[in-house]
Structure formats: C-alpha cells, structure tokens
Chain A
C-alpha cells in the first residue's frame, strides 16, 4: 500500500471541507478522483501534502503516518504535487523553475541528468530555458509544472486538474505524458480531474467525490459505464 487515507476530516476555519474521506492507492497505480467543483478534491490533495492538515483521521504513506508532518518533510518522503493552475514561478526562468523542483536534492550530477531528461521529454522547454516562466503559454506551463514536480524524483505524484484551460490537443499530449511517467518511471499517480471522461480512460481505478465524501469506488472501466456517473460527470 502506497498511500492510505483513513477517515480524514479537514476544515478551513469552521468550514468543514472533508467529511471522512478514506481512499487507498497501490504502488504503481494511476487512480483518479473525480467530482464537481467544491466537492473537496483539491482539499484532499492539500491534506496529503500537509498544507491543510486534517483535523482528525490519519494519512499513511507506505505504512508511516504523515498527517502531522510539515509540508517539506512530506515532499522529502517522495510525494510531489502539481497544483491546480500550475503555479509556475513567473519571475524565475524555466531552468530556475526546474531547479526549484530539485530543491531538496543535493546530487548535482543526477540533477543535471534529470534536467536533460526533462528537456528530452519537452524539447520546447529546452529551447526556452532562459525565458521567464510567466512568458509561457498554458500548455507549456503545464509541461513545466510536470517537469518541475518530477525533478524531485517523486514516487507518488499528485496532479490537480492538469487539463484545466488547455486546448484538447495539448490535453491529450499531457495525458500521454502522465501515462508514460507511470509506465517508465513507475511513478504512482493520484489524478484529480473534472474531465472525468479523460481521467477514467487513463486511470486504473476511480473515486467519485461529492460534498467532501467519497460516494463511489470502482475500476475505471466500470465507472465509465456506470449510469449515474455517466449522467452526472460524463455528460452522456
């Protein structure tokens, strides 16, 4: 078991965002969490990363409790998040953005190698490595955000709405990369998406979330054919 959320309750002040969320991710899996706006998907990811720690419940990473750790300690364990909106540092160059991804690492030679790997994965980033992050288009920023997260060599990658605001052709490209990372790097992937159709096509299993609670769990293919899911999330 890679990650296990056990009945977590997360609050923003007095407002309860998560009302007892439990989920599990196996090593090497791609799982997706789908749900409408405000269901608590982003909060779930932020709870895992330690930015909005749960008030009650436990989060286990490879059997070790992490819900009381500081965000930087959680990253050090190998959990990276690509947050919604990509959050590229606009004043850093692309290269500096990537170097920030390797903030906790000290192996210069390996960092150099990973940098080359990212430039290989996304040649456009190599071309523009000395441009400011803020000057990139949305699709390029998403590529940079993915590369930046991979620079930390995570074993678990959390992605929040990677398709948001991108052209369909770019979205397909991004999802191909996600699959590639999962297959080649053996990185476990926890994908949060509003585009349920797409997400369920790449994921192995899916969770459906409503009002801060998980309402459905099943294999991705079953969810794709589930009448209720179809009606609400797939627009069919």
Chain B
C-alpha cells in the first residue's frame, strides 16, 4: 500500500511539473495558434538562474528562506523576460506569415537557447542545492513523499487556481479568451492584441521558470538539455489534455505523470517513455483534439 501511495504521489509530483510547463504551451497556442518549442528552454533557463542566484546568496550567507524566495522570484522574472523577448524577436515579425514559418522559428529559437547555455555552462551536469528544507511534520512519511515533492504539488495546485481565476475574471483573461476565439473581432472591440500576446508569454514563461527551479531543487542536478526533455513531455501533456485548454493542460499533466510513475513502479523505468507516448498515440486515435479539446474544423 505504501508503495502504491508513493507511486501515486510521485506521479502527482511529475504531473504538477508537466502541468506547470504545459500551461505555457497551451496558453500560447490559445492566443497565437503556435507551438512555442522554445518554452522548454525557458524552463531550463529558469533553473540556471535559480542555481546562480541561490549560489551567490549562499556564499553571501543569507538565511535559507530569503534565498529560496529571492531565487524563485529571480527565476520567474528572468524566465518571463526571456519569454517576452523570444516572442518579440522570433514570433512577432512573423505574425502574418504562413503558419509554418513561426513554427520553424520556434525550433530555431529552441536550438539557439540550448547551445547558448551549453556554451556558457558546459554540457556537464551541475549540482543544484536543495532549496526546500526537510519539513519536520513530514518526517514519518519520507518513504512516501519528500518535502520538495509536497512543495511542487502545492505550487502546481495554487498556480492552477490563480491562473483559472485570472483567465475567468480579469480583463486580460477575457481578452485572451476573446483573441483565441476571434482575433480580428477582439481588435475591433479595442483589444491591443500585441500587449495581450506579450502578457501571455510573460505569464507562461514565469510559470516555466517556477517549474524549473522547483524541479532542479528536487532532482539536484541540471544541464542545458533538461528543458528539451521536460518540454517534450509537457507538450505531450498539453496535447493529451487538449491543446488550448487550461484544465486540459492540468489533466493531461496528471495523467501523463501517473502513467509514467506507475509504469516505472510496476513495469520498469526503461518503459516509462513507451507508456507515456503510447498513451498519447492511443488517445489521439480516439480523441484527436485531446481529452478536453474542442473538435473544430480547420479554418483554411
């Protein structure tokens, strides 16, 4: 039973991470109809900023709590700045180009950022400090859940709730939903589409940065390639849940996290990816738009 619980919570942790990153994919797809392949790299950069800032503050002898808070904020702000810049440099000039062009630009941006970090940080794995302290109240349960896992799950849940409220009730959220339904009409009602798209990138990238630092602190090591793999999985989660749908990203993340966790626990960790991508294929056969995705005819 403990083993099952461990896998369940482990899956929930993975799922929360996938969901955090998948939200960025799905929000951008919602407003732009574009898969932002550089999103995983933003996550990776968030992790590196966390590493640099926490290392610096540790050397300066700051208290642990301050280090965690400042490193997290820096990772999110930095990631947001990257997301904003990526959109301005790689996507905005292609706003009216055929759909394939921004996609290629996204892949190019992803490769560029990976290699830029590779040059700056080398390809070696670097140790990441454990930012989240061990909670005493979790002491009897450490065989089931670690405190860093608990923090990841909580961060995932809180983020989802905040984002849901933002999308549902704020002006910018309404503008995002309006743009995803009919961009031209949104413009005719006075929505500044460029600003809303920028905001979408900023929010999605900040969440990726948060995910980056949380995961890095949990796993304990990072290199330039972690974003590519996490991005691929999160993208799978977004497609699984129905790309463009925020609850879909959360659900897709959870399902993917559990699938991997149970496949690893009961079959073999070698088959983790087989089950993850097998599930994707299976779902896309029966629901091509994803679990919560809307079936819509392609506008030509």
Residue on A nearest B175 in the bound complex, by CB:
A103
Once the chains bind, are B182 and A87 in contact (CB under 8 Å)? yes
Give complex CA distance A101, B181 in Å: 15
Question: What B residues does A96 contact at CB under 8 A?
Answer: 174
**Chain B interfacial residues counted at CB < 8 A:** 16
Question: What A residues does B190 contact at CB under 8 A?
Answer: 71-72, 75-76, 103-104, 152
Once the chains bind, are A103 and B177 in contact (CB under 8 Å)? no
Q: Does A100 interact with chain B (Cβ within 8 Å)?
A: yes
Once the chains bind, are B181 and A72 in contact (CB under 8 Å)? no
Contact pattern, A 37-70, Cβ under 8 Å of B = 1, otherwise 0: 0000000000001110000000000000000001
> What are the 10 A-B residue pairs with the smallest beta carbon separation, nearest first?
A75-B190, A104-B190, A87-B185, A71-B187, A72-B192, A89-B181, A72-B190, A103-B190, A103-B189, A81-B188
**Chain A interfacial residues counted at CB < 8 A:** 24
Interface residues of A (CB under 8 A from B): 49-51, 70-72, 75-76, 80-81, 83, 87, 89-92, 96, 99-101, 103-104, 148, 152
Q: Does B191 interact with chain A (Cβ within 8 Å)?
A: yes
Question: What A residues does B268 contact at CB under 8 A?
Answer: none
Give complex CA distance A87, B187 in Å: 12
Question: What A residues does B186 contact at CB under 8 A?
Answer: 100
Once the chains bind, are A87 and B184 in contact (CB under 8 Å)? yes
- B174 partner, pick from A70, A81, A99, beta carbons under 8 A: A99
Give complex CA distance A163, B149 in Å: 60
- B188 partner, pick from A51, A76, A99, beta carbons under 8 A: A51
Once the chains bind, are A92 and B181 in contact (CB under 8 Å)? yes
Give complex CA distance A81, B189 in Å: 8
Give complex CA distance A142, B191 in Å: 21
Interface residues of B in 162-211 (CB under 8 A from A): 171, 174-175, 177-178, 181-182, 184-192
Once the chains bind, are B174 and A100 in contact (CB under 8 Å)? yes
Contact pattern, B 222-255, Cβ under 8 Å of A = 1, otherwise 0: 0000000000000000000000000000000000
Question: What A residues does B185 contact at CB under 8 A?
Answer: 83, 87, 89
Question: Shortest CB–CB separation between residue B167 and chain A, in angstroms?
Answer: 12
Give complex CA distance A166, B171 in Å: 33
Once the chains bind, are A91 and B177 in contact (CB under 8 Å)? yes
